[in-house]
Amino acid sequence: IYYTCSIKPISCATKNGCGTLTNPENFLNQDYQQLKQYCLIRRLRYIDDMFPPDKTSIGDNLLSPSDLNRVQWLRPAKIVSNPSFVVHGISRFDFKQGMVGDCWFLASLGALTFQKHIFQQVVHLEQTFDEDYCGLFHFRFWRFGRWVDVVIDDKLPTVNGNLIFVHSKDPTEFWPALLEKAYAKVCGSYSDMRAGTPAEALVDFTGGVHMSLDLSDPPPNLWDLMLRAGKSKSLMGCTTPQGTSANTVQPNGLVRGHAYTVTGHICFVCRGKVVNLVRLLNPWGQGEWNGDWSDRSPLWQTVSPEDRDMYRTVANNGEFWMLMEDFCKFYNDLDICCLCPSFLDGSSACHWNTSYYEGRWVAGTTAGGCMNNMDSFWTNPQYRVKIESLLGDCAKSQGGKNMLVSLMQKPDKRNRRLVQNLHIGFYVFENKAERGKFPESFFKMNRPVAQTKTYMNSREVMEFMMLKPGDYLIVPSTFGPNETASFLLTIVAKAETHVQLKPACSFVSET
């Protein structure tokens, strides 16, 4: 006989190296192995005190009071008679979005299913409802420079016995619902998952490098870039413009203010012209583009029967093809996330080095604001970077960029919806002689050689740049002075780099 109980969190026992992919931190100090052994020895079904099966975990303003009162938290075995964690493998077609506006998360999840080795870093596929089952599951996410292991119980919110949030198309499969619950716990509640961009979840799934491309002004090599990104096993997502209201289905079948997964690309010769097509997936699991090259478009009759049978699927499963030109016309940005940006070169000749640095702006001491505030700008944290010359085959690479700098602000609250992002950005200066901390006079006499295009109140800002070998200074800042916040600075460089911190900031890791 199994009993249900609540268990207090157990402190993380790991010390050195805690927070890496192979040795993640225990989120909220809950240790999966200790909790599991406790439950198995005492024959208990786990209930998570840190994310309890009640209204607080659903959060505010997500469900109406009447719907909230109808919610029952049920374990999978109470929903179906034969629950499974995974049924017939992992697929982007496994799940459909529920009542949470987390299309950004699910679009990223659709991209994750293409990369099985990355997927298995997030989702432990050995978990089952059979041997050693005790109602306890765990997942792994990258959060602001550290990997965390997140435990949950498997009680899921239902109404009339049906899952109300993400659910599998096969009612006996539960990995999507449990994964969404784990991420909701990280965000603070299900309500805290409403609204976002694919980039956020893509980075949290991979701990990788993110870049965002503006499709209203795309780079001239966008198609080649997407091809190379696909071959390098990058994850890609995109969003449509917000318009006057989100989630409005337009006459062309696309949803306003909605996130989609980029799932493929092909090139045809049609009527003597080269046609580039992009394949996209709506995380609703239905609702598709109905223009040129959509499922029932007559243009499919202009390609060979073999290609038509291979690439076209006439089913309202949410996935569809569209012209590259239409993709740029009807979507506003493309997010690409990869473990290494070597695909930008079209070659793997170079080894890119990634370094993470934690820092903090403190009002009155190290929060000088942007360069509009010249009297205080110099007080911001300063990172001195020395870039070495490229060597060997890497020196022959034709890539136009050799460094990516990312600035991510760290939240001061657990609940995602309560976090007030500041406007952040950074400048890069060339340095030829200065020693020690750079004084106010240096910034009055020198202009930056690179910088973020604008200060944005987003979780992360980033810029790719080309810097010749030499000494540089990176200065991250908030837009206004005297704004206190913590941040994570990531430097990804094709060449060997050496960084000194002025003043001292904590060094996280280097890979």
What pLDDT score was predicted for residue 449?
A: 92
What pLDDT score was predicted for residue 220?
A: 87
Tokens representing 469 are: 């070998």
Residue 64 and residue 59: Cα distance in Å, rounded?
Answer: 11
Q: What is the pLDDT of residues 176-197, one digit of tens each?
A: 999 999 999 999 999 999 888 8
Q: Which helix (H) or strand (E) is 341 found in, with range?
A: none
What pLDDT score was predicted for residue 143?
A: 92
Give, in order, the Cα–Cα distances in Å from 258 to each of 109, 245, 336, 404, 463.
Answer: 15, 10, 17, 28, 25
What pLDDT score was predicted for residue 424?
A: 95
The whole-model pTM stands at: 0.86
Tokens representing 502 are: 């002025």
- Let me know if 258 is a catalytic residue: yes
Of the residues 138, 167, 282, 402, only one is catalytic, namely: 282
Q: How many CB atoms lie within 10 A of CB 150?
A: 27
Per-residue tens of pLDDT for the chain, all 511 residues: 333 333 333 333 334 567 888 889 999 999 999 999 999 999 999 999 999 999 999 998 888 888 888 999 999 999 999 999 999 888 888 888 888 888 889 999 999 998 898 999 999 999 999 888 999 999 999 999 899 999 999 999 999 999 999 889 899 999 999 999 999 999 999 999 988 889 899 999 998 888 888 898 888 889 988 888 888 788 999 999 986 666 788 899 999 989 999 999 998 887 778 889 999 999 888 888 999 999 899 988 888 888 888 888 888 888 999 999 999 999 999 999 987 777 666 555 667 788 888 999 999 899 999 999 999 999 999 998 888 876 555 655 545 678 889 999 998 888 888 888 899 999 999 887 656 677 888 888 889 999 998 898 889 998 888 888 888 999 999 999 999 999 999 888 876 555 655 543 333 333 3
Of the residues 12, 26, 39, 103, only one is catalytic, namely: 103
- Let me know if 282 is a catalytic residue: yes
Residue 211 and residue 221: Cα distance in Å, rounded?
Answer: 15
CA-nearest of 205, 204, 209, 143 to 490 is 209
Q: Is the peptide bond before 448 cis (omega within 30 degrees of 0)?
A: no
Q: Which helix (H) or strand (E) is 470 found in, with range?
A: strand 470-478
User: Please, are residues 325 and 223 in contact by the beta-carbon 8 Å criterion?
Assistant: no
Angle, helix 175-187 to helix 198-206, in steps of 10 degrees: 100
Q: What is the pLDDT of residues 300-333, one digit of tens each?
A: 888 888 888 888 888 888 899 999 999 999 999 9
What is the bridge-based pairing of β-strands 146-153 and 25-26?
parallel
**Which residues 6+ apart lie within 8 Å of 371 measured at CB?**
377, 427, 443, 448
Of the residues 258, 317, 394, 423, only one is catalytic, namely: 258
What pLDDT score was predicted for residue 483?
A: 93
What pLDDT score was predicted for residue 422?
A: 93
- Domains defined for the chain, CATH in brackets: 3-188 (no CATH), 209-336 (3.90.70.10), 345-510 (2.60.120.380)
Residue 6 and residue 45: Cα distance in Å, rounded?
Answer: 9
Tokens representing 140 are: 């792994």
DSSP string across 183-207? HHHHHSSSGGGSS--HHHHHHHHH-
Q: What is the pLDDT of residues 254-271, one digit of tens each?
A: 999 899 999 999 988 877
C-alpha torsion angle, residues 147, 149, 150, 152 (rounded to 10): 160
